[in-house]
């Protein structure tokens, strides 16, 4: 008959730690698959949103941007 004490039971804290690490690893993999770092399409969307936010603030650059115009009184015409 084999000795059953050859492989003692793992403590509950260690089992909980292993379970926690497995869950965190799985969540990390899923999030990396969903939100791929360095994805050119995602970077382009973020840049477009930033340009739209700047245009909404009144920045002169970007499509649909608003530039402030200064109106100065006309000076005397120079003789020719």
Report percent pLDDT > 70 for the chain: 69
Q: pLDDT tens, 10-40?
A: 999 999 999 999 999 999 999 988 887 777 7
- Count other C-beta atoms under 10 Å from residue 42's C-beta: 12
CA 72/CA 24 separation, integer angstroms: 63
CB-CB contact of 54 with 62 (8 Å)? yes
* Domain range list for the chain: 10-52
Q: pLDDT tens, 35-61?
A: 877 777 777 777 777 777 776 665 555
Instruction: Supply the pTM of this predicted model.
Output: 0.45
Tell me the CA distances in angstroms from 10 to 3, 7, 13, 19, 22, one per residue in order: 17, 9, 8, 13, 16
């Amino acid at each position: 008959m084999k000795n059953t004490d050859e492989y003692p039971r793992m403590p509950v804290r260690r089992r909980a730690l292993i379970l926690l690490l497995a869950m965190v690893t799985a969540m990390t993999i899923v999030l990396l698959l969903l939100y791929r770092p360095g994805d050119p399409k995602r970077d382009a969307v973020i840049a477009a949103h930033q340009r739209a936010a700047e245009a909404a603030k009144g920045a002169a650059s970007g499509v649909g941007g608003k530039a402030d115009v200064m109106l100065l009184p006309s000076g005397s015409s120079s003789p020719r």
